[in-house]
A and B are shown apart, each in its own frame.
Chain A
Amino acid sequence: MDITFLTGPVTAGLISALLALIITLVDRMVNNYGMVKITINNGHKTVNVKGGSPLLFSLAEEGIFIPSACGGKGTCGTCKVKVQTDIGIHLPTEIPLLQKNEIEENIRLACQVKVKKDIEISIPEDLFAIQQFKTTIASIADVTHDIKEVYVKLMEPGTISFKAGQYAQLIIPPYGKIRETSQRAYSMLSAPADSGRLGFLIRLVPGGIATTYVHTILKEGDTLDVVAPVGEFMLHDSNDIMLCIAGGSGMAPLHSIIYDMVDKGKTNREVWFFFGARNLKELFYIDRFSELEKSWPGFHFIPALSEPLPDDNWKGETGLITEVLDRFLKTRISTEAPKEGYLCGSPGMIDACIRVLINHNIKEENIYFDKFA
Chain B
Amino acid sequence: MSPQISPFILFFASIFTSNILLSNFLGMCSFISISRDFKSSHGLGLAVVVVLTFTTMINWGLYHLVISPLGLHYLRYIFFIIVIAATVQVLEMVIDRISPSLYMALGIFLPLITVNCAILGVSLLMEIRNYTFLQSVVYGLGSGIGWWIAILCLAAIRKKIDNAPVPAGLKGPGITFITIGIMAMAFLGFSGMLPVQ
List chain A positions with a Cβ less than 8 A from chain B: 7-8, 11-12, 15-16, 19-20, 22-23, 26-27, 30-31, 87-89, 91-92, 116
Contacts and interface: CB of A to CB of B under 8 A. Distances in A.
A26 B87 CA distance: 11
Nearest to A7: B70
Interface stretch (B9-17, B94-102, B144-152, B176-184): B94-102
Given A7-B70, A87-B100, A91-B104, A12 B78 contact: yes
Nearest to A9: B75
Contacts of A8: 70, 72, 74-75
B93 interface: yes
5 contacts: A11-B70, A20-B86, A23-B90, A26-B94, A88-B100
Identify whether the interface residues of A are mostly helix, strand, loop, or mixed: helix
A338 B41 CA distance: 58
Contacts of A89: 101, 104
Interface size class of B (residues with CB under 8 A): 20 to 34
B62 interface: yes
Contacts of A31: 93, 96-97
B82 A16 contact: yes
Contacts of A15: 62, 66, 79, 82-83
Nearest to A86: B100
Interface string B94-129: 101100110110001000000000000000000000
Contacts of B66: 11, 15
A212 B89 CA distance: 43
Interface of B: 62, 66, 70-72, 74-75, 78-79, 82-83, 86, 89-90, 93-94, 96-97, 100-101, 103-104, 108
A22 B83 CA distance: 11
Contacts of A16: 82
Contacts of A22: 86, 90
Contacts of A87: 100
A324 B136 CA distance: 82
B64 to A, nearest CB: 14
B72 A23 contact: no
A30 B97 contact: yes
Given A12-B78, A15-B66, A26 B101 contact: no
